[in-house]
Amino acid sequence: MKNKIVLAVLFILPIVVYLFFASGVNNFGKLPILTENITDISSIDENVELKDKITILGFLGNDIENQKGSAFNLNQKIYKRFYEFNDFQFVMLVPHDNESKVDELKAELGNLTDMVKWNFVYGSEMQIEDFFDALKTDLTLDENLATPFVFIIDKDRNLRGRTNDEDEGTKFGFNTTSVADLNNKMEDDVKIILAEYRLALKKNNANRKN
């Protein structure tokens, strides 16, 4: 009798666990949209677009040296895990006249990873401030036009985030100075949005076959 119970538990338990997580993916498989229809970054740089890309958007500001730690955290914890996915990119806004500083940063990061999905967009102070304000977050840029927070933008140029975060309530961005925030929250949310688009692609392909 005991052997039968053990066998039943070993057989049934994995199925129950699978169904639990499968239902979780279906119920919680989308990140809330916090701001809709953000202006495309091509309005600042015609060579870079948000449309049809899953974008990690950041604002490095004028003090690039002070942002290196954040850039390295982001590179190691997020970029290296996801950059090989199709339509995934990083976009960092930087004020004009910081090109040489960015080149130094790119060279240092390039020693650790393939920089193919890192994009640096240069704009005027007004362009950067206006673009940031259009995100409609509860965050601010500092005096150098920088913020340690980065943002997830979907393929339709919507800002995605959390509406019931246990720490912040509405969570617009992810703090690159906090490894815990990157590991425990941002990584999960990037996985969710990538899974969302993969699921949509599978459905479209199935519909075409039918």
pTM (two decimals)? 0.83
More confident residue, 92 or 14: 92
Q: Is 73 a residue whose pLDDT tops 70? A: yes
Q: Which two tokens stand for residue 180?
A: 């815990």
**Burial zone of 129 (CB within 10 Å; 0-12 exposed, 13-18 middle, 19+ buried):** middle
| pLDDT greater than 60 at residue 25 | no
pLDDT for 74 beyond 60:
yes
Q: 154: helix, coil or strand?
A: coil
Does 102 have pLDDT greater than 70? yes
